[in-house]
Amino acid sequence: MENKKVSIIYYSKMGNTKKMVDIIANGLRSVKDIEVGVFSVDSVDEDFLRESKTVIFGTPTYYGNTCWQIKKWFDESKNISLEGKLGATFATCDYVQGGASTAMLTIINHMMVKGMLVYSGGSALGQPFLHFGPVALKGRMEEVREEFFIYGRRIGNKTVELF
């Protein structure tokens, strides 16, 4: 059986979002037949992305929303078809009421416009309930490591199931 490729596209200024990317990537790699590509938003391997069945977007939360770097990537990626790919998202933030849900919903909106199938596992898979995607709060990131790993594993399992 051929490996299913999963791309993770993220922006990380302080390194916190990248830490969560690495945990999600490890969760994905725990699933048989998954190959993971991890790309900073400014260095996406477009060939790997085109071959990917799933794309996960990670963003820090700035001013209650996604970072401009991720928004710009969506705005300028007209030549990249994401149609039919499984899409997922996650966020990091400084404050509990920092807007992480809004940041993820913004990305979900972009994924839907691009024709992606949006998935998180929500509450259907039980604890941890991840709804839009997991959120890591500054200063408490170690507490959610397992949630991010589980999220990666869930996305990997759904990728294998669907594709």
CATH classification of the domain holding 85: 3.40.50.360
What pTM value is reported for the model? 0.95
> Where in the chain does DSSP place strands (E)?
4-10, 34-40, 54-62, 65-66, 86-93, 117-118, 135-137
- On the CB side of 53, CA atoms within 13 Å amount to 18
Q: CA 49 to CA 114: how far, in whole Å?
A: 14
Q: Which domain range does residue 28 map to?
A: 4-162
Tell me which residue of 147, 65, 151 sits closest to 100, measured CA to CA: 65
- Give pLDDT < 70 ranges for the chain: 1
Residue recorded with tokens 């997922």? 88
DSSP state of 99: S
pLDDT of residue 131: 86
Number of structural domains found in the chain = 1
Q: CA 143 to CA 25: how far, in whole Å?
A: 18
pLDDT of residue 121: 82
